[in-house]
Amino acid sequence: MEEPVNLKANWNYPTSVRFGAGRVRELGAVVKSAGITRPLFVTDAGLARNPMVAQAMAVLAGDGVAATLFSDVQSNPVAANVEAGLEALHRGRHDGVVAFGGGSSLDAGKVVAFMAGQRRPMWDFEDIDDWWTRAEPSAILPIIAVPTTAGTGSEVGRAGVITDAATHRKKVIFHPLMMPKTAICDPELTLGMPPGTTAGTGMDALAHCLEAYCGLAYHPLADGIAVEGIRLVKENLVPAYRDGNNVEARAHMMSAALMGATAFQKALGAIHALSHPVGALYDTHHGLTNAVFMPYVLAFNRAAIEERLARLASFLRLKASFEAFLDWVLALRAELGIPHTLAGLKVDDRHFERMSEMATVDPTAGGNPIRIDVATCRRLYENAYAGAL
């Protein structure tokens, strides 16, 4: 039986999105429309060597926009990446940011723009209570986001995830004005993405939609978007995985990714709470880590979500039952080559107690349909390590 909900909430869905193949060619016009004249172009070191970055920079130059490339961003970005970005931003007297790449680049670019004129340290704006109100809104620079993967949905989000290297904790930096002015979602930028990356990012999109849908807060807008996002994943992730140049499947997965991030303002949960410590300590791919935890968390939450997952299964043209949905998740992971256990991510059991403590206080933990504590987190880590559903 589902818990009763409080029929009172605040909702936001304002991001401007330019969606479609070839729309990266509008980047210069979009930057100008945001009032940016000299953007810092933030991406990661690997992508900086990809021709698509040079092409995007050429689009900007062709429209008379002088941009500077900054690529000191690592997977699972750390505070030092943000600090280096801020130094480049101030040195070049930039008045905005183009965040270009996967979730790491988008998150880092957004936090650089957010911190541009703040006087307090970055960790003072962690997504705890109302800490975001400490920020000076006028000191936040405008952001244009251009995703090159289909997973995090950071292009429509109001936060960035940065790892605190001192504590090995992933922290969410949040402010409403971190939402990009415009997101350019061009599926051609994801063509040829390796199968493993396609699988991991696609499962991240699924995790976002699924945890949003399973959250118990009242948000029917988020529920509807999440359900359709899950359908798009079901019908398009495997085709995109099998054929890196399937632009239609890539487009639908890009939609699913931004839908997940739009929906998860309602809630995330234990999938993310358990994943964040693993990523911080072992530098694992975030979406892939979410995929490993997904069935274990679903099984743990069954008492609270069984009825709604039966409805979801029916919508997906599965048998209308919790078991049918769980079986589909397991079959999808197997088809995508997702490891069934933490050992498949080269994660051992040495830090389970520490990770359990970290997971319990993670900002996403509070959205889980069933309350989690250190003991339950440790049990879930042990289950995911042993493969025990």
The first and second tokens of residue 245, run together, are 């140049």
Strands 39-42 and 96-101: parallel
Note whether 88 and 68 are within 8 A (CB).
yes
Print pLDDT tens along the chain (389 aa).
455 557 776 676 778 999 999 999 999 999 999 999 999 999 999 999 999 999 999 999 999 999 999 999 999 999 999 999 999 999 999 999 999 999 999 999 999 999 999 999 999 999 999 999 999 999 999 999 999 999 999 999 999 999 999 999 999 999 999 999 999 999 999 998 999 999 999 999 999 999 999 999 999 999 999 999 999 999 999 999 999 999 999 999 999 999 999 999 999 999 999 999 999 999 999 999 999 999 999 999 999 999 999 999 999 999 999 999 999 999 999 999 999 999 999 999 999 999 999 999 999 999 999 999 999 999 999 999 999 99
Note whether 269 and 366 are within 8 A (CB).
no
Q: Do domains 23-185 and 195-386 have the same CATH topology?
A: no
> How far apart, in Å, are the Cα atoms of 115 and each of 43, 78, 141, 151?
17, 14, 8, 25
What does the pLDDT read at residue 12? 67
Distance CA 389, CA 61 (A): 54
As assigned by CATH, the class of the 23-185 domain is: alpha beta
Distance between the two ends of the chain, CA-based, in angstroms?
A: 22
What does the pLDDT read at residue 3? 52
What are the b/e assignments for 83-100, b being 16+ CB within 10 Å?
A: ebbbebbeeeebbbbbbb
Distance CA 90, CA 99 (A): 16
What does the pLDDT read at residue 1? 43
Note whether 95 and 36 are within 8 A (CB).
yes
What does the pLDDT read at residue 291? 98
In the chain, where the domains are located: 23-185, 195-386
Distance CA 186, CA 153 (A): 13
Return the CATH architecture of domain 195-386: Up-down Bundle (1.20)
